[in-house]
């Protein structure tokens, strides 16, 4: 059996839903009241007219339950009480205040809902005692149970909606943080390299024009790469409701590009690999790439390092990434610098995968970043490349 498609059969909302609810309840109440009147005898003409006017007014109040929920709820309770006092027929009009009661509880208006329920129980008990009708205490007790159940169901509905809204807000916050982290990693690295390369070009412009020209070429290439990645990131953000992009996310297959960019900025980088290389899950591959990218950016901007070593250790269950430099250590990374925010972003990436990341000065001098990234789903081993 094919699943129900809400897009082909949209449910009514807002004013249309309230109109359908009011009309449906009016039909049910009218049929019930008329059926009892035919079987037990009718009211007098004035009483009959008043009864139908009250039925129409009480059911019509449901049209205003969203705009004036408390006022509409109290009106249904009081008007229903008047109806039962005037009419000799006990029609099912009490359905309407019960619907209004549930709506109030579902909106979190518990004080009004409890007050309305209490008035309904007290009014029914008082009316039973005053009129000497055949309504027993058991009926009052059953009505109390029904009202308590309605309020409880409404409260559960409100709690579920509140939980769903809070969960949606948390997801939105996490998505904003993820986007901010991605933009920082994408743009921050290339802009930092452009800044370092521009400084090197200015320094070499008079002494060694050839090296200055090489640095300017690197600036052009870095800026082109920055624009490409920025357009790709913004394109993903614009395609929220469209098909997911098919372009692969950056990974360790592009680690040599990071090395080449760092070398053009005057930062020699060497990559070492141990263990059986394997195809990594996309989140792990991206996180490892971004961690290396940010570490090289910080080393180029803050450490004054003359050498950087990047190590990848492929274990059976996790990938270990280590980036070490021989620079000035944590002294070059003050608390308010971009280096600290970058370390926070790297740490969040590792924790999101169930791993961990530490960053700090090395005992022998320099700075080290160590990340442990669990595979989650074990990647398939692959043959070593010829690097």
pLDDT given at position 231: 72
Give the pLDDT of residue 39.
65
Q: How far from 85 is each of 88, 89, 99, 134, 377, CA to CA, in Å?
A: 8, 10, 21, 15, 70
The answer to the question of residue 366 being in a domain is yes
In-domain check, residue 116? yes
What is the pairing mode between strands 318-325 and 367-374? antiparallel
**Which structure tokens are listed for 101?**
């009661």
Closest CA to 143 of 123, 172, 168, 170: 123
Q: Could you count the other beta carbons within 10 Å of the beta carbon of residue 17? A: 12
Out of 135, 152, 176, a domain closes at 135
- Predicted confidence at residue 226, as pLDDT, reads 73
Assigned domain for 261 exists: no
pLDDT of residue 135: 57
Q: Is residue 9 part of a domain?
A: no
Q: Which two tokens stand for residue 344?
A: 């926070």
Q: What percent helix, strand, coil does the chain show, rounded to 5?
A: 65, 10, 25
Final residue in a domain of this structure, among 103, 135, 167:
135
Nearest to 105 by CA among 115, 96, 95: 115
Q: Are 47 and 88 in contact (CB under 8 A)?
A: yes
Q: Are strands 318-325 and 269-274 parallel, antiparallel or unpaired?
A: unpaired
Name the residue range of residue 342's domain: 268-387
The domain boundary residue, chosen from 135, 154, 182: 135
Nearest CA-CA partner of 53 in 77, 31, 86, 8: 86
- Which H/E stretch holds residue 215? helix 209-238
CA max distance for the chain: 113
Q: Please state the domain count of the chain.
A: 2
DSSP 381: B
Task: Establish if 201 belongs to a structural domain.
Answer: no
Q: Which tokens is 62 given?
A: 């449901």
Predicted model pTM: 0.49
Q: Where does the chain show beta strands of DSSP type E?
A: 269-274, 308-314, 318-325, 356-361, 367-374
Tell me whether residue 293 is in a domain.
yes
Kindly state whether residue 121 falls inside one of the protein's structural domains: yes
User: Is the four-CA dihedral 173, 176, 182, 185 of positive or negative sign?
Assistant: negative
Q: Is 278 exposed, middle or buried (0-12, 13-18, 19+ CB in 10 A)?
A: middle
Whether residue 294 lies inside any domain: the answer is yes
Q: What pLDDT does residue 89 have? A: 67
Query: Domain containing 325 — which CATH number?
Result: 3.30.565.10
**Burial tier of 261 (Cβ tally within 10 Å: 0-12, 13-18, 19+):** buried
What does the pLDDT profile of the chain (387 residues) look like in tens digits? 455 455 555 656 667 777 888 888 888 887 877 776 666 655 667 777 887 888 888 888 888 888 888 888 899 888 888 887 777 666 688 888 888 888 888 888 888 888 888 888 888 777 666 655 555 667 777 888 888 898 899 889 888 988 888 888 888 888 777 777 777 766 766 677 777 767 767 776 777 777 667 767 777 777 777 777 777 666 666 655 445 445 566 788 888 888 887 777 778 889 999 988 888 998 899 899 989 988 888 887 766 677 899 999 999 899 999 999 887 755 444 444 445 567 888 888 899 899 999 998 888 888 899 999 999 754 454 444 443
Gap between the Cα atoms of 189 and 262, Å rounded? 10
Q: What's the DSSP call for residue 306?
A: S
Q: Which two tokens stand for residue 281?
A: 């899950």
Q: How far apart are CA 362 and CA 365, in angstroms?
A: 5
């Amino acid at each position: 059996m094919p699943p129900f498609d809400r897009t082909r059969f949209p449910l009514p909302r807002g004013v249309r839903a309230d109109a359908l609810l009011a009309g449906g309840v009016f039909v049910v109440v009218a049929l019930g009241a008329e059926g009892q009147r035919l079987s037990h005898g009718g009211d007098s003409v004035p009483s009959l007219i008043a009864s139908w006017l009250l039925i129409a007014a009480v059911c019509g109040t449901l049209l205003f339950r969203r705009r004036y929920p408390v006022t509409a709820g109290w009106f249904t309770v009081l008007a229903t009480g008047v109806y039962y006092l005037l009419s000799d027929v006990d029609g099912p009009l009490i359905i309407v205040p019960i619907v209004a009661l549930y709506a109030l509880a579902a909106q979190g208006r518990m004080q009004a809902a409890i007050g309305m329920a209490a008035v309904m129980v007290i009014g029914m008990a008082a009316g039973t005692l005053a009129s000497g009708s055949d309504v027993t205490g058991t009926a009052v007790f059953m009505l109390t149970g029904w009202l308590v159940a309605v309020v409880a169901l409404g409260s559960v509905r409100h709690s579920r909606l509140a939980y769903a809204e809070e969960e949606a807000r948390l997801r939105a916050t996490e998505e904003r943080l993820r986007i901010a982290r991605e933009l920082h990693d994408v743009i921050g690295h290339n802009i930092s390299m452009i800044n370092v390369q521009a400084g090197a070009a200015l320094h070499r412009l008079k002494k060694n024009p050839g090296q200055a020209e090489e640095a300017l070429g690197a600036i052009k290439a870095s800026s082109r790469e920055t624009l490409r990645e920025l357009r790709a990131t913004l394109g993903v953000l614009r395609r929220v409701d469209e098909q997911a992009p098919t372009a692969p996310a950056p990974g360790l297959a592009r680690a040599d590009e990071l090395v080449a960019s760092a070398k053009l900025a005057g930062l020699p980088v060497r990559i070492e690999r141990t263990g059986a290389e394997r195809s990594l899950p996309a989140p792990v591959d991206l996180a490892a790439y971004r961690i290396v990218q940010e570490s090289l950016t910080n080393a180029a901007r803050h450490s004054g390092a003359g050498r950087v070593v990047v190590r990848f250790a492929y274990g059976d269950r996790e990938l270990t990434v280590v980036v070490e430099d021989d620079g000035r250590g944590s002294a070059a990374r003050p608390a308010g610098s971009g280096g600290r925010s970058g370390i926070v972003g790297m740490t969040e990436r590792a924790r999101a995968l169930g791993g961990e990341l530490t960053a700090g000065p090395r005992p022998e001098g320099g700075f080290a970043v160590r990340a442990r990234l669990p595979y989650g789903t074990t990647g398939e081993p692959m043959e070593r490349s010829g690097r």
